[in-house]
């Protein structure tokens, strides 16, 4: 199979934020910052602290990549499954799931988020818009996993992964209305997309690494807003409690 050039325009990257690890943590940090930052200027941001937290984040990311190496050979075997498909049929056929390798772990339920995942995502013309490989054309390792417990993905992902067994590899076809709709992806809008997803249990060492990565990410995000995550993380709980009280 001739693999197409990986295209990752800024707009595509924006809408593929679902593949970015820990997106939800970033959103929460931004919301908290608006309420509690009290108009801090850029001069209030501690660049030394940001550098410290960036180094810590990079360190744990490297550990995650090392731990992910055992899944590299399994995922790369499925690069040949990345093939062109009919866009119209994919948009009209609803979410379609196909197990390429059956897992042996527990079965994922509706809206299940208690697992980790590695993936390849592509368009109808075979163009890969993102993947867990460090370089899709010339891969050498896997990037950090998606931690579903701290990420918010598109609706079609959850629908397509329902019924999959942990440890397996599943291909899912997602029509536009359950993907990005009017959002730009695959050089257009209202485009169906496909994923190959390798699921991993969020337990043991992998769970510990996921928690460490989440903490490192949150600390870094807060630092960019001139805040201290270890001191201000309770702000999120305060917001939720106040919202519940008002209801």
pLDDT tens-place string over residues 156-208: 999 999 999 999 999 999 999 999 999 999 999 999 999 999 999 999 999 99
203: in domain: yes
State the residue for tokens 């600390």.
Answer: 219
The four Cα atoms 231, 234, 239, 245 give a dihedral, to 10 degrees, of -140
106: in domain: yes
DSSP 8-state code for residue 162: T
237: in domain: no
38: in domain: no
pTM over 0.75: yes
- CA 112 from centroid of its chain's CA atoms: 14
pLDDT tens-place string over residues 1-35: 333 333 444 444 444 444 443 444 444 445 444 44
238: in domain: no
CATH, residue 135 = 3.10.50.40
88: in domain: yes
- Domain that residue 210 falls in: 10-33+44-230
> Is-contact 76 131, C-beta < 8 A?
no
Please count the structural domains in the chain.
1
2: in domain: no
240: in domain: no
């Amino acid at each position: 199979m001739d693999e197409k050039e990986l295209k990752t325009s800024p707009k595509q990257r924006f809408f593929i934020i679902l593949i970015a690890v820990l997106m939800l943590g970033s959103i929460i940090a931004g919301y908290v910052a608006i309420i509690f930052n009290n108009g801090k200027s850029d001069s209030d941001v501690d660049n030394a602290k940001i550098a410290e937290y960036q180094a810590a984040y990079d360190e744990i990311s490297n550990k995650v990549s090392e731990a992910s190496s055992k899944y590299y050979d399994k995922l790369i075997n499925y690069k040949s499954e990345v093939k062109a498909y009919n866009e119209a049929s994919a948009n009209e056929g609803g979410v379609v799931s196909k197990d390429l390798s059956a897992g042996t772990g527990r079965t994922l339920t509706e809206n299940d988020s208690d697992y980790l995942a590695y993936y390849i995502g592509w368009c109808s013309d075979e163009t890969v818009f993102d993947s867990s490989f460090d370089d899709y054309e010339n891969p050498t390792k896997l990037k950090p996993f998606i931690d579903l417990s701290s990420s918010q993905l598109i609706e079609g992902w959850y629908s397509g992964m329902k019924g999959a067994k942990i440890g397996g590899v599943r291909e899912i076809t997602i029509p536009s209305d359950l993907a990005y709709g009017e959002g730009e992806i695959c050089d257009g809008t209202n485009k169906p997309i496909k994923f190959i997803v390798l699921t991993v249990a969020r337990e043991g060492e992998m769970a510990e690494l996921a928690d460490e990565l989440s903490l490192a990410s949150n600390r870094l995000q807060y630092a960019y807003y001139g805040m201290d995550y270890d001191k201000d993380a309770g702000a999120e709980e305060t917001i939720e409690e106040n919202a519940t009280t008002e209801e």
